[in-house]
């Protein structure tokens, strides 16, 4: 058995089947996933049940098939939520043009779209339809949207179609789909054994009990880094400041809304982690003397004196080598990106710095997309286009893991895994 094939053993996989003539091939797919050791549950749209019976899938999986989400069957209502949470991956095969449109729009009116929408598992989609439908701009736009969500959309194959015509639109072969799922997990385990701590979001520096100085950071980049690391097998601690996104499940979350609280959490966590990703926008200044009482309106105005906050990552950079984690900083620069970012890399003692331009026509803060350049001591290491933050996170982890392991004597484990206390 290859490394990739072993990747499916014990994995919970939901196969979502929609109403295409290719639905019969989903039976072969389910059988192959089950043979590879996966625990497979099947969900079907109402139209899919017109092509293949739920009984056929139940016979292969020895598990109930979810076909209803609208409330006729109370068991199914719970089943789709449970499956969404339990799934390690969801494979939608075949996916009709209609289902692609539903998923892209966030419409949820059948068991398959409900499970995909409710889940945070990795999603693989194998479309099957008539060539005209596949090449229609609406379908292509929906596919782009779904790829933007981080879903893996496989290309349909060229061949004879149910319409009698020959063209693109055939469902990818079950073996191709299984291989794609295996690769997902083979890669998704590559951070196994690593303990990573990630900061995300902004901070709020109190002026008085109700007012603060804050920033617009959404936490999206740090959360994308946390989700990607979690999905690739790392033990993740997320130190969250003020965020506009929901923290991911499956990570250890510590809240730290001021720079001082964030410093305390990071300094405490750093020695027990292999890698620190400092994606938070930590306030550089805080009011010198926050008032314990609400400051009254005053016609003469208010003078606020700000004092510098401690530079957290620089402090970690000075830790002794045996406890200092691998350090990745982020830098938002409005001018002289390269000089400023590499200056920070040197001054703060970082291993890598992820720099992005702010203040121009594109604003990365709060956006779902970003364009970044990563610098190491030797200079720029990347030339990436504008990408969704989750895709940037995946590329960053490829780079960070590679760098981290270059001088690690035990390449598949984190240095701290064996010696430190287990995850809290
Ligand atoms: O604010 P600056 O551009 O210097 O931030 C660069 C890096 O330093 C970021 O990774 C940020 O999280 C970190 N930082 C920090 N403590 C601060 C300010 C920034 O760790 N007080």
Tell me whether residue 96 is in a domain: yes
CATH number of the domain enclosing 166: 3.40.50.1950
Residue 25 Cα to ligand 1 midpoint, Å, equals 52
Whether 162 and 243 map to the same domain: the answer is no
Whether 159 and 28 map to the same domain: the answer is yes
Whether 138 and 9 map to the same domain: the answer is yes
Whether 72 and 119 map to the same domain: the answer is yes
End position of a domain, from candidates 144, 162, 187: 187
Whether 240 and 290 map to the same domain: the answer is yes
Contact 262 CB / ligand 1 (< 6 Å): no
End position of a domain, from candidates 187, 207, 236: 187
Tell me whether residue 358 is in a domain: yes
| Residue 245 Ramachandran class (φ > 0 left, ψ -120 to 50 alpha, else beta) | beta
Contact 200 CB / ligand 1 (< 6 Å): no
Q: What is the three-class DSSP state of 50?
A: helix
Rounded to two decimals, the pTM is 0.63
CB-based contacts of 193: which residues, under 8 Å, 6+ apart?
Answer: 233, 412, 413, 414, 417
Contact 190 CB / ligand 1 (< 6 Å): no
Per-position DSSP letters for 405-418, written without gaps between them: HHT-SSTTS-TTTT
Contact 327 CB / ligand 1 (< 6 Å): no
Residue 227 Cα to ligand 1 midpoint, Å, equals 22
Tell me whether residue 34 is in a domain: yes
Contact of 87 with 59, CB cutoff 8 Å: no
Distance in angstroms between the alpha carbons of the first and the last residue of the chain: 35
Contact 331 CB / ligand 1 (< 6 Å): yes
Contact 278 CB / ligand 1 (< 6 Å): yes
Residue 206 Cα to ligand 1 midpoint, Å, equals 19
Tell me whether residue 424 is in a domain: no
Whether 229 and 290 map to the same domain: the answer is yes
CB-based contacts of 341: which residues, under 8 Å, 6+ apart?
Answer: 331, 333, 353, 355, 373, 375
How does DSSP classify residue 363?
-
End position of a domain, from candidates 187, 208, 229: 187
Position 1 scores a pLDDT of: 45
Ligand 1, from 205, 278, 281: best to mutate by most atoms within 8 Å of Cβ?
278
Position 189 scores a pLDDT of: 80
Q: How far apart are CA 409 and CA 267, in angstroms?
A: 25
Domain that holds residue 107: 3-187
Digitized pLDDT (tens) for each residue of the chain, 424 residues in all:
444 556 788 899 999 999 999 999 999 999 999 998 999 999 999 999 999 999 999 999 999 999 987 655 566 656 788 899 899 999 999 999 999 999 999 999 999 999 999 998 889 999 999 999 999 999 999 999 998 887 889 989 988 888 788 889 999 999 889 988 887 777 668 898 999 999 999 999 999 999 999 999 999 999 999 988 988 889 999 999 999 998 887 789 999 999 999 999 999 999 999 999 999 999 999 999 999 999 999 999 999 999 999 999 999 999 999 999 999 999 998 899 999 999 999 999 999 999 998 877 777 777 778 889 999 999 999 888 888 788 889 889 989 999 998 855 454 456 676 444 333 2
- Indicate which atom in ligand 1 lies nearest the CA of residue 330: 10
Q: What is the three-class DSSP state of 232?
A: coil
Tell me whether residue 282 is in a domain: yes
Whether 180 and 308 map to the same domain: the answer is no
The number of distinct structural domains making up the chain is 2
Whether 175 and 214 map to the same domain: the answer is no
Whether 257 and 402 map to the same domain: the answer is yes
CATH number of the domain enclosing 409: 3.40.50.10300
Q: What is the three-class DSSP state of 378?
A: coil
Whether 66 and 39 map to the same domain: the answer is yes
Distance of CA 75 to the CA centre of its chain: 30
Whether 377 and 320 map to the same domain: the answer is yes
Contact 259 CB / ligand 1 (< 6 Å): yes
| pLDDT tens-digit map of 353-404 | 999 988 777 777 777 788 899 999 999 998 888 887 888 898 899 899 999 9
Position 412 scores a pLDDT of: 44
CA-closest residue to ligand 1 atom 3: 331
| pLDDT tens-digit map of 227-248 | 889 888 899 999 999 999 988 8
CA-closest candidate to residue 188, choices 394, 43, 344: 394
Whether 161 and 201 map to the same domain: the answer is no
Active site residue 356: no
Ligand 1, from 331, 351, 355: best to mutate by most atoms within 8 Å of Cβ?
331
Instruction: Kindly calculate the radius of gyration of the chain based on its CA atoms and give it in whole angstroms.
Output: 25
CA-closest residue to ligand 1 atom 21: 311
- Segment holding 134, helix H or strand E: helix 131-135
Q: How far is CA 284 from CA 41, 205, 304, in A?
A: 50, 10, 15
């Amino acid at each position: 058995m290859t490394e990739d094939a072993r990747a499916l053993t014990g994995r919970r996989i939901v196969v979502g089947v929609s109403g295409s003539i290719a639905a019969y091939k989903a039976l072969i797919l389910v059988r192959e996933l089950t043979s590879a050791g996966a625990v497979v549950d099947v969900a079907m749209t109402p139209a899919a049940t017109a092509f293949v019976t739920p009984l056929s899938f139940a016979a292969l999986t020895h598990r109930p098939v979810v076909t209803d989400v609208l409330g006729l069957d109370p068991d199914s209502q719970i089943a789709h939520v449970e499956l969404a949470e339990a799934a390690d991956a969801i494979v939608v095969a075949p996916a009709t043009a209609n289902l692609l449109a539903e998923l892209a729009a966030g419409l949820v009116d059948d068991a398959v779209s409900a499970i995909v929408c409710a889940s945070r598992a990795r999603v693989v989609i194998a479309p099957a339809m008539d060539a005209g439908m596949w090449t229609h701009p609406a379908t292509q736009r929906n596919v782009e949207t779904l790829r933007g969500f981080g879903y893996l959309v496989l290309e349909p194959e060229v061949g004879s179609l149910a319409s009698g015509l020959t063209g693109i639109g055939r469902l990818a072969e079950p073996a191709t789909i299984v291989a794609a799922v295996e690769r997902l997990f083979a890669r998704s385990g590559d951070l196994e054994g690593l303990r990573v701590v990630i900061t995300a979001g902004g901070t709020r520096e109190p002026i008085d009990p109700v007012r603060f100085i804050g920033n617009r950071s959404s936490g999206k980049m740090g959360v994308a880094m946390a989700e990607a690391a979690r999905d690739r097998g790392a033990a993740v601690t997320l130190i969250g400041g003020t965020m506009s996104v929901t923290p991911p499940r499956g990570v250890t979350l510590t809240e730290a809304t001021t720079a001082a609280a964030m410093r305390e959490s990071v300094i405490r966590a750093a020695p027990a982690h292999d890698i620190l990703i400092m994606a938070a926008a930590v306030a550089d200044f805080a009011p010198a003397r926050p008032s314990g009482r609400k400051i009254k309106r005053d016609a003469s105005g208010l003078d606020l004196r700000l004092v510098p906050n401690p530079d957290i990552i620089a402090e970690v950079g000075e830790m002794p080598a045996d406890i200092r984690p691998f350090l990745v900083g982020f830098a938002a620069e409005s001018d002289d990106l390269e000089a400023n970012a590499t200056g920070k890399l040197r001054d703060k003692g970082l291993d890598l710095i992820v720099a992005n331009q702010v203040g121009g026509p594109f604003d990365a803060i709060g956006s779902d997309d970003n364009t970044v350049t990563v610098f190491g001591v030797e200079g720029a290491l990347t030339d990436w286009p504008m990408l969704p933050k989750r895709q940037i996170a995946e590329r960053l982890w490829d780079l960070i893991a590679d760098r981290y392991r270059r001088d690690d004597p035990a390449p598949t484990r984190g240095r701290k895994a064996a010696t430190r206390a287990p995850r809290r």
